[in-house]
Amino acid sequence: MIASEKNQPITINGVTVQPGEQQIIDLPVGKLYTHTDLNIPLQVICGRKTGPTLFISAAIHGDELNGVEIVRRLIKSSVLKRLRGTLIVVPVVNIFGIIQHSRYLPDRRDLNRSFPGSKRGSLTARLAHIFLTEIVRKCDYGIDLHTGAIHRSNLPQVRANLDDPETKQLAEAFSVPVILNSNLRDGSLRQAAAEHNVKVLLYEAGEALRFDEMSIRAGVRGILSAMRVLEMLPPKKPSHKKPLEPFIARSSSWERAPESGVLRAVASLGARVNKGDLLGVISDPSDLFDQQEYEIRAQYAGLVIGKSNIPLVNEGDALFHIARFEDIQEAAASVEAFQNRSENPPNPIFDDQTFI
Ligand SMILES: [Zn+2]
């Protein structure tokens, strides 16, 4: 090995991890009022050889759990023995929220609207500041794992700033059928990271407070393929399987409830819809005998990439998220191939690596 190929050690919260080492670090973020210390647990894998530094973060919204399982499976992956560069995995960033099964922190703020945060700001601002200073700013790249909100599912999708060619390349490598070009939101982790030249992808899949096997498997697979593009992992052996083609949505918007009532959803997640297609019907439960019903019809042709799962709706509630594409037929074929590929989980204990 030539000297310049050797990786650099990394120090987090005063703990230094040397090349070839792996370490669990507790990052202190304060105390509960019960005098219980709170830490963000994280794991650092410092490869022997030089390469980028990448963080994987989950549960920035404390009720979004798919990422917690994605991280667990990623860490068990034997291919990490051949890691170049440094991987930092943070299975639960919002350690306050996960205790309460909540998206937010106890001060009711949203962590993903509170970056860059500050040392002396609100509880949420302090957590944002610690995470940004101790983790994000030490990295070149990041992948932030999310799910839909409570009672809402997202079809596996990547959101990223596609105006940046390298971020676009990573988003395409993630191997999910749908990519959204998402502008940086004020106060988000992605925006704060971009200001420090750290490129971040956001993976959105499944529903809050639930595990969704398809979303979890696609997440593990996506992270590993992004790491291959970054040359943090060796290239995959050639396979005769056709690689999944991602499609960038032209735009997307939610179809909202025209009235309050009880929803019967017709369109399923991943479905292709034409303009005017029936998405669902709302009826008023106090008006059973009149049978007054309100139809929700697609205003555009597209794919259903997000949907509400609760039949109880208030007028104005976002019910069906429709993404529009240049070539809807090709995009729909890619979603179908993805869903077929993800059927039949290989192993009930969820540690089978053959799908990777
Ligand atoms: Zn989220």
- The reported pLDDT for the residue numbered 353 is 56
Q: Would strands 199-207 and 251-256 be described as parallel, antiparallel, or unpaired?
A: unpaired
Q: End-to-end distance of the chain based on CA atoms, in angstroms?
A: 29
Residue 4's pLDDT band (cuts 50, 70, 90): low
Distance 61 CA to ligand 1 centre (A): 5
Distance 172 CA to ligand 1 centre (A): 21
Residue 238's pLDDT band (cuts 50, 70, 90): confident
Distance 97 CA to ligand 1 centre (A): 12
Tokens 């529903």 correspond to what residue?
207
- The reported pLDDT for the residue numbered 113 is 96
User: Bridge-partner residues for 253, per DSSP?
Assistant: 322
Alpha carbon distance 310, 335 (integer Å): 24
Lowest mean pLDDT among 148-157, 231-240, 274-283: 231-240
- Which of helix, strand or coil describes residue 266? coil
Residue 116's pLDDT band (cuts 50, 70, 90): very high
For 154-178, what is each residue's pLDDT tens digit?
999 999 999 999 999 999 999 999 9
Residue 340's pLDDT band (cuts 50, 70, 90): confident
- Which of helix, strand or coil describes residue 142? strand
For 274-304, what is each residue's pLDDT tens digit?
999 999 999 987 766 767 899 999 999 999 9
Distance 159 CA to ligand 1 centre (A): 12
Distance 312 CA to ligand 1 centre (A): 22
Distance 148 CA to ligand 1 centre (A): 7
Going by the DSSP 8-state scheme, the letter that residue 159 receives in this structure is: E
Whether 84 has a pLDDT exceeding 90, the answer reads yes
Whether 347 has a pLDDT exceeding 90, the answer reads no
Whether 258 has a pLDDT exceeding 70, the answer reads yes
Longest dimension (CA), the chain: 81
Distance 204 CA to ligand 1 centre (A): 7
**Both tokens assigned to 126:** 């302090």
Distance 258 CA to ligand 1 centre (A): 26
For 128-138, what is each residue's pLDDT tens digit?
999 999 999 99
Q: Which of 272, 270, 279 is nearest to 212 (CA)?
A: 270
- The reported pLDDT for the residue numbered 3 is 52
Whether 329 has a pLDDT exceeding 90, the answer reads yes
Mean pLDDT taken over the chain: 93
Distance 234 CA to ligand 1 centre (A): 31
What average pLDDT does range 183-194 have in this prediction?
89
What average pLDDT does range 321-335 have in this prediction?
95
What average pLDDT does range 268-277 have in this prediction?
97
Distance 197 CA to ligand 1 centre (A): 22
Q: Which of 129, 69, 119, 57 is nearest to 93 (CA)?
A: 57
Distance 146 CA to ligand 1 centre (A): 4
For 31-65, what is each residue's pLDDT tens digit?
999 999 999 999 999 999 999 999 999 999 999 99
Alpha carbon distance 32, 45 (integer Å): 29
What average pLDDT does range 72-97 have in this prediction?
96
Whether 352 has a pLDDT exceeding 70, the answer reads no
